[in-house]
Each structure stands twice: as C-alpha cells, then as structure tokens.
A and B are shown apart, each in its own frame.
Chain A
Amino acid sequence: MVKSKGRGKIMKKTDKIIAAFLVSMGVYSASQAVQYVASLSHGEKGSLEMVAKSSLNGVILCSSTVSRVPGSDGDEDVKRA
C-alpha cells in the first residue's frame, strides 16, 4: 500500500498497475487514470488488471480518431492510429 503522489490517498497495488497501464497505453493522463481507477468496481478492476498483465507487445498507443478515418500504423514516420 503506497500513497499516490500528490494526492495523499492510498492506492492498492492493483490500482497502480491499472493506472500505469492506462497511462502507458495513452488512454489517460496520470491524474485522469487515478480518478478513473477509483471509479471502477472490483470486477472491472480484475478485468483490466488481467489485460494489463498479459503480453501486449505490438499494441500501439491510442489515437483520438475513430477507426474509419486514416491513421498511422506504428511504423515509418507516421503519427498516430
């Protein structure tokens, strides 16, 4: 059990794993991730923790754009999804 930086709240290890995962995937900023994780149910946390712990090699950061519009694919000098 560790305090999350700057907020003084206790974060469980599971919460930290999920928050770090969401930040690394580009889904949320660090503060947004902490807020989001706090809103999750136990079951939802379990689902996301499983994804976070599974091998995700080759998964590229989030982009803002919906899938029917153009986007990069992670190679060359392209910019996003």
Chain B
Amino acid sequence: MPTLPPELGINLGYKCNFNCAHCAVLEPRGIKLSRIEEDLLASTISQYRFKSVLFVGGEPTLFIPSANRILQKAGDLTKVSVRITTNGYFADTVGAAVRVLSSFVKLDKVLLSYDKYHAKFLPIGHIENLFHACRKLKIKFIVTMAIGSPLDLVLLKKIRQAGRFRVVMQKVLPVGRARINGIAHKYPSFDSGVLEKRCENSRTLMYFCGRGFTTCCSILVYDRNMRGVMHGTPKEHIGSEFYRLMSKLSFRGLAKRLGVSCLEFSPEHSDRCTLCAHLFNLARNRREIL
C-alpha cells in the first residue's frame, strides 16, 4: 500500500465574502462540512502522520468553529503545522487580524491570497495589517498571487511595499469563474517539456466537503462527470488507480496509460492541470475511464 502524502488539505466549505473573477469554485456557497465529515477528518489526522494540515475554502475564517472542532478532536498536533489560505478580509486593523487568527486553536502559517482579482475586494493596507498580526503571533506569513498574464507581475512591486515576506505566484487555471470569464493564464505555444512533468499536488491529500478525498485540487474535482477521482476514505484513495497514476507517472506516461498518446496539443496544454484534464477527458470520451 502506498504511503499517504505529507499534507492534508481540507476544504471547509464554499462560503466566501469575495466574488473574485478568477475563483475556481462554482459550487453552491451553502455547502460546508457536516459533523460526520469533521469527525472523519479529525480521525484521519490522528491516524496518519501528516506534516501539515491546510484549511481552505471558500474563506476558511468563516468556518473557524468547524476547523477548531477538527483540530481539537485530532489529538496531539505538536508535530503538525496548521495553515490557512485566506482572503484577509478581517485585517481592517492589526488588532482585528490578531483576534481572528488567535481564535484558531492552532495556527502556524497564513497564506494570504492577493492579486489583481482580490485587489477589487481587499484594500492593500490589509496585507500590512495581516503581516504585522502574524509577526505578533509568531505565525509565518506568505502572499499567494494568481496571475492571468505576466503583466500582472507588475503588482508585485506594490505587494512588496507592505513588508518583507515571501510571495508565491500561481497561474490562473481555466476552471470555475476563470473559465467562464476567459481569464486563464495564456501560453503563446505548447511547451512539450510539460509531458515529462508530474502532478504538482501529489504530495497533498485533499478533502472536499460533501465529496471526499482526492489528489486533484481543482479541475478534475469540479468536473462532476469525472469518475474515479474522489474517495470516501484516505485508504480507499491511496489504493485507487487514480492515486497510483498521479503519484507515479509523468504526463507522457499518463497519456500512454490512458491510451491517449500520439496527440496534438494546444498552447494551453503547457499547463500541467489543463493537460491532465485534457488527457482524462480524452480517455473518458474514448470510454477508457479508470
């Protein structure tokens, strides 16, 4: 039996107080973890030795009681790094940010999503407030910045003025609202080098509320017609054909395994997730589903 990835990502619910044009989520915002799911996740954390647990949403700070119930039932967390990816709406002042962050029973790292899409909802001053709140609480602070075009990198200069912290960039994928709005990151040509790469998320086990455990963090999850991707327990997932494919094979190997080799690719397939979804869609269309 393969070993579990070192990180567990938990989607607490889809409620969010922003309405970003690039958001991957199109799910109904009322969906959140049930108490049964919370218990399952708590026992998963206590049973397996994850190095980190990451809470995402929606906006995870809208689900703090749920996150705390999971953490409190999970047992000893001294060797587990707890993180959140937040939109930072609550950081009107340093004090307000401290109050929200310190309401988690354990929190070691904050990833703030900020880019030109979030900038429509979040004043730039909130970055500085959140940064200082994290310093006060000895919590690591990182900004994640989604780019739809290299020209979006110009915003980096403004972000860096808020303080000295890491900025992690991510390309906007053609999924959810980004797909509808046609704002996914664009490539001028196909880069065949992507075929030799593997899934970037294979070191994270994700749990999506109301759905289950999976390795995929986006495109395949939100494709309701994709079968064999989600599983009810971590054990079922790591024993699945999907996990074996994603954790071991390059995309060239995946194409071969799915029987969809000898393909022509478009520029957008330079992105791993887009390529992966393309391969699985082709396989599905050829009735070669997992």
- Tell me whether B189 and A78 are in contact (CB under 8 A): no
Q: How far is the CA of A44 from the CA of B234 in the complex (A)?
A: 47
- Tell me whether B85 and A67 are in contact (CB under 8 A): yes
- Tell me whether A68 and B25 are in contact (CB under 8 A): yes
Q: Which residues of the other chain, A, contact B49 by a CB distance below 8 angstroms?
A: none
Chain A: interface size category: 35 or more
Q: Which residues of the other chain, A, contact B187 by a CB distance below 8 angstroms?
A: 28, 32
Determine which of A36, A39, A68, A73 lies in contact with B168 in the assembled complex, contact meaning CB atoms within 8 Å.
A73
Q: How far is the CA of A73 from the CA of B83 in the complex (A)?
A: 10
Interface membership of B56, Cβ < 8 A: yes
Q: Which residues of the other chain, B, contact A2 by a CB distance below 8 angstroms?
A: none
Q: How far is the CA of A45 from the CA of B59 in the complex (A)?
A: 36
Q: How far is the CA of A27 from the CA of B23 in the complex (A)?
A: 20
Within 8 A of A (CB), among B260-290: 270-274
Residue picked from A25, A28, A67, A80, most chain B C-beta under 10 Å? A67
The smallest C-beta distance from A26 to any residue of chain B, in angstroms, reads 8
Interface membership of B166, Cβ < 8 A: yes
Interface membership of B54, Cβ < 8 A: yes
Q: How far is the CA of A20 from the CA of B175 in the complex (A)?
A: 29
- Tell me whether A51 and B201 are in contact (CB under 8 A): no
B-to-A contact residues, CB < 8 Å: 6-7, 9, 22-25, 51-52, 54, 56-58, 81, 83, 85, 109, 111, 113, 115, 118, 140, 142, 144-147, 150-151, 153-154, 156-157, 160, 164-173, 175-176, 178, 187-189, 191, 193, 200-204, 206, 217-218, 270-274
